[in-house]
Amino acid sequence: CLFLDGMVYWLHRMDRSYITGVVQELSDLLDTLMELTEREVFPETEDTMLSKLQGNVVKLIRRMRHQNEVTRQDQERMKGIISDLSHQLKTPLANLKMYSRFLQKEELSEKQYREYVDIICLSVERLNFLSENMIKISRLETGLIHLKCQKNKISETVLKAVKDIYPKARHMGCEIIYREDREKELWAQFDADWTAEAIFNMLDNAVKYSENAQNKSIILSVRKLGLFAEISVEDQNGFIPEEEKNRIFQRFYRGENSEGKEGIGLGLYLTREIALRQGGYVSVKATEQGNIFSIYLRL
């Protein structure tokens, strides 16, 4: 009886010691979860419930760290948008403030009055254009708008963009020549409205810089290129320098030849973002007389 009592007492002590050790190890495992650090508490080689629990905790840690990184990137992106927006707002707001004060002067001539009013109108248009594009970009980048990729006919989306740019092209004296591979109608998975916006931005860029071009013809073409459909806009506006090609699709970037031209450097950036978010991409290459801007959509 004494022997059995001793065995029971010893097993009880061992059981308590084991439970205390497991609880301590579980506490260490919870610490790794709180600190989001991966540390082996239970042997991974053992096929036990505690090892499986540790594996699930590690997966949770990795998922939480990834989510934290996504959140950090979103915050940095939002900071960039706000910084860019505040920088772009300075000039038109300063003009509005300054020239509105000038209009309060009684000794202004009619010529000066019209000049100041024109500057104020241009500043208001710039603010309106800036706000509309920044709203599009911020909603797209922050995930407030999800592109609805559905099976659409490419030609219909392209012609929608042409319809929107036609009044401006006609005013600038530009001729848009449309070329399409007629052997087979091309369909692809994309968001029709946002893709039309991307194509419009490429056309708008070509029309805007055609003012000093001898040949104002703009060639808009659609063709199948492997697993992609290529929609390209070829202009005759003089080629973009090689050092600018990698920057032309950046937000708010404007080339050396953009002085005196309308715009704030958001159109091509928005085109690139729309293409990337649909599994496509964009490119630009120089020709003898101009450039070819292209957007590629997965067929």
* CA 6 from centre of chain: 73
CB atoms inside a 10 Å sphere around CB 53: 14
Label residue 246 exposed, middle or buried (CB < 10 Å: 0-12, 13-18, 19+): exposed
What is the per-residue pLDDT across 106-153, written as a single tens digit (0 to 9) for each? Answer: 787 888 888 888 888 878 877 877 777 777 777 766 665 677 888 889
Name the pTM for this structure: 0.60
By the 8 A CB rule, do 14 and 38 touch? Answer: no
Q: Which of 97-106, 222-231, 269-278 has the lowest mean pLDDT?
A: 97-106
230, β-bridge pairs: 223, 296
| Residue 256 CB partners (closer than 8 Å, separation 6+) | 241, 244
* Contact present, 248 and 255 (Cβ < 8 Å): yes
Reduced to 3 states, what is the DSSP secondary structure of residue 146?
A: coil
Burial class (CB in 10 A: 0-12, 13-18, 19+), 295: buried
pLDDT in tens, 238-296: 777 777 777 787 776 666 555 555 555 678 888 888 898 888 999 988 888 888 999 99
